[in-house]
Amino acid sequence: MPVTAFECKSLSGSAEWKWYRGSSPSEGTASFFERRVRDMDSSQFKFAHRFDQVSGSAIREIFKVIAQPGMISFAGGNPSPDALPDEIVREISGEVLRDNGKTLLQYGATEGYMPFLESLKAYVQDQLQCNIPAVLPVTGSTQAMDLLCKSLIDPGDCILVENPSFLGNMQCMKLYQARLVPVDSDDDGMMMEDLEEKICRYHPKMLYTIPTFQNPTGKTLPADRRKKVAELAGKYQMVVAEDDPYRDLRYEGSPLLSIKSFDKDGWVMFLGSFSKIISPGLRVGFIAGHPDIIRKCTVGKQSSDVHTANLNQAIVDQFLRRNLLPDHIEKVCANYGKKMSFMLSKLQNFPEGVTFTKPQGGLFIWVELPSHMDALSLLNKAIEKKVAFVPGTHFCVDGGHLNTIRLNFSNSTIEQIDQGMNVLNDLIIDNI
Ligand SMILES: Cc1ncc(COP(=O)(O)O)c(C=O)c1O
């Protein structure tokens, strides 16, 4: 198939990106790929091979555009500004600095700020309803993924991933030169038959999964599959990275046990974050699980950032000790739940042929347009009308899935959702 340039201009006008369809000797047989027009290869610098699979994020182009005033953005994954507890954090910061300022402003232990380690361990055990042998506070759960890969992944190792999956962590895996192999999903997430088949075929070192209100689809893996994942991990000796930053953002239904809670042999590592329930700017997350892996991650962290900011650990520690999270999460969930229901009700009125997930929580809805439609060109038209979203192709392991989009509802008001969804509806009708 000849390569044809795809109708999509760089969103920022800097013409850095172009999308292509077809196959070529240099790009292989992929039916879809993106390439930098201003290529890194033209640089005078010889960059490390670990960047070979990582082309930089086209999503960042979108974020430059959505910074324009008046833009309605369904693109990010940010908490709503009114969900950020700035007043409480201000009060706590003053108190912890008054009581313990000299220690907090000094270097700390890589293993974590001692009082936080204590409250965190109790919190994680309570959340997961199982014994947690070791936990390491990290600088956002993004760092947990980085440290896991640093500890476990050699170039060429296989990691199984959901498809689509969280772009940030897939980029991390690619920087460690992993080979990413997608596992097939249905409406409930990963399918266990395909998972076992891929384990047997590719002998992966790790499975990366976001089991609750997945980013980008909003899907939740049911309890029986969670149990099965833990069993397969033990049977085939594969580490599972259970990335669960959205588990508390539930607006309907009952909480599910974590994969970790079914883990008998220590193969499941649980990655948690306070970004979505307190503040992403504090950059406090954690990784919990087998002490041997936690130890390797700790050694890896020493050369990354020495330790997670003491002051930020102390702030989250106070949230846990003062039991502030339940009330705060309840308020946030009430707010996001209304926004999600409203966005879903708008989608109900979209033209026939548009399908979408119906999550019970989290921050995202995944939309499939009729198969001939193109979310990349739809995005350009939407941006002209001051509405932004992320085309689903960016979350897919091998690209493709051009007719999909990810919508975020947390960071817009009900009025903005109303207005923005009307714009998308009209554009889809015009292009169907
Ligand atoms: C699935 C998933 N994992 C991890 C992260 C990163 O979270 P943190 O802010 O804790 O680094 C995100 C952020 O959006 C996410 O969606």
Phi, psi (degrees; rounded to nearest 5) at 250: -110, 125
CA of 210, closest atom in ligand 1: 1
Q: Can you say whether residue 115 is alpha, beta or left, with left for phi > 0 and alpha for psi between -120 and 50 degrees? A: alpha
Mean pLDDT rounded to a whole number for the chain = 91
Say how many Å lie between the CA of residue 141 and the centre of ligand 1: 6
Residue 366 has a CB neighbour count (10 Å cut-off) of: 22
Residue 173 and residue 151 in contact, taking contact as beta carbons nearer than 8 Å: no
CA of 214, closest atom in ligand 1: 1
> Does residue 412 sit within a domain?
yes
Residues 361 and 421 both lie in one domain: yes
Whole-number pLDDT of residue 55: 73
Residue 410 and residue 39 in contact, taking contact as beta carbons nearer than 8 Å: no
Residue 145 has pLDDT above 70, yes or no: yes
Q: Using pLDDT thresholds of 50, 70 and 90, give the confidence band for residue 1.
A: very low
- Among 63, 169, 283, 390, name the best residue to mutate to test ligand 1's pocket (greatest count of ligand atoms within 8 A of Cβ): 169
Residues 6+ apart with CB under 8 A from 249: 213, 276, 277, 329, 332, 333, 336, 361, 362, 363
Whole-number pLDDT of residue 16: 43
Residues 386 and 277 both lie in one domain: no
End of a domain among 299, 323, 347?
323
Residues 331 and 288 both lie in one domain: no
Residues 137 and 253 both lie in one domain: yes
Residues 346 and 301 both lie in one domain: no
- Among 142, 147, 394, name the best residue to mutate to test ligand 1's pocket (greatest count of ligand atoms within 8 A of Cβ): 142
Whole-number pLDDT of residue 61: 72
Whole-number pLDDT of residue 19: 47
Residues 110 and 136 both lie in one domain: yes
Say how many Å lie between the CA of residue 7 and the centre of ligand 1: 31
CA of 280, closest atom in ligand 1: 9
Residues 312 and 335 both lie in one domain: no
- Among 269, 275, 308, name the best residue to mutate to test ligand 1's pocket (greatest count of ligand atoms within 8 A of Cβ): 275
Q: Rounded distance, CA 226 to CA 214, Å?
A: 14
Residue 32 has pLDDT above 90, yes or no: no
CATH (domain of 128): 3.40.640.10
Pocket of ligand 1 from Cβ distances under 6 Å: 77, 140-142, 166, 169, 210, 215, 243, 245, 273, 275, 280, 285
CATH (domain of 399): 3.90.1150.10
Residues 270 and 241 both lie in one domain: yes
End of a domain among 294, 323, 352?
323
Q: Rounded distance, CA 273 to CA 276, Å?
A: 7
Q: Which residues of 77-96 are buried (b: 16+ CB within 10 A; e: fewer)?
A: bbbbeebbbeebbeebbeeb
SS3 181: strand
- Among 143, 165, 271, 276, name the best residue to mutate to test ligand 1's pocket (greatest count of ligand atoms within 8 A of Cβ): 276
Say how many Å lie between the CA of residue 21 and the centre of ligand 1: 30
Q: Using pLDDT thresholds of 50, 70 and 90, give the confidence band for residue 432.
A: confident
Residues 118 and 199 both lie in one domain: yes
Say how many Å lie between the CA of residue 328 and the centre of ligand 1: 19
Whole-number pLDDT of residue 39: 44
The answer, as to whether pTM is greater than 0.85, is: yes
> Does residue 93 sit within a domain?
no
Whole-number pLDDT of residue 35: 43
- Look at residues 372, 168, 125 and name the one whose alpha carbon lies nearest to residue 272: 125
How many residues are there in the chain?
432
Token pair for 223 = 């309890």
Pick the residue with more confidence: 51 or 13? 51
Residue 38 has pLDDT above 80, yes or no: no
Q: Which of 77-81, 267-271, 306-310 has the lowest mean pLDDT?
A: 77-81
Mean pLDDT over residues 175-184, rounded?
A: 97
What's the domain range around 15?
4-40
Residues 152 and 246 both lie in one domain: yes
Whole-number pLDDT of residue 41: 52
Q: Which of 36-40, 53-57, 209-213 has the lowest mean pLDDT?
A: 36-40
Say how many Å lie between the CA of residue 142 and the centre of ligand 1: 6
> Does residue 175 sit within a domain?
yes
The helix (H) or strand (E) run that includes residue 20 is: strand 17-21
Whole-number pLDDT of residue 371: 94
Residues 6+ apart with CB under 8 A from 427: 378, 381, 382, 385
Per-residue pLDDT tens digits for 245-285: 999 999 999 999 999 999 999 999 999 999 999 999 999 99
Residues 248 and 346 both lie in one domain: no
Per-residue pLDDT tens digits for 81-116: 999 999 999 999 999 999 999 999 999 999 999 999
Per-residue pLDDT tens digits for 370-429: 999 999 999 999 999 999 999 999 999 988 999 999 999 999 999 999 999 999 999 999
> Does residue 96 sit within a domain?
no
The pairing of strands 206-209 and 17-21 is unpaired
Residues 390 and 256 both lie in one domain: no
Whole-number pLDDT of residue 17: 44
The tally of domains found in the chain comes to 3
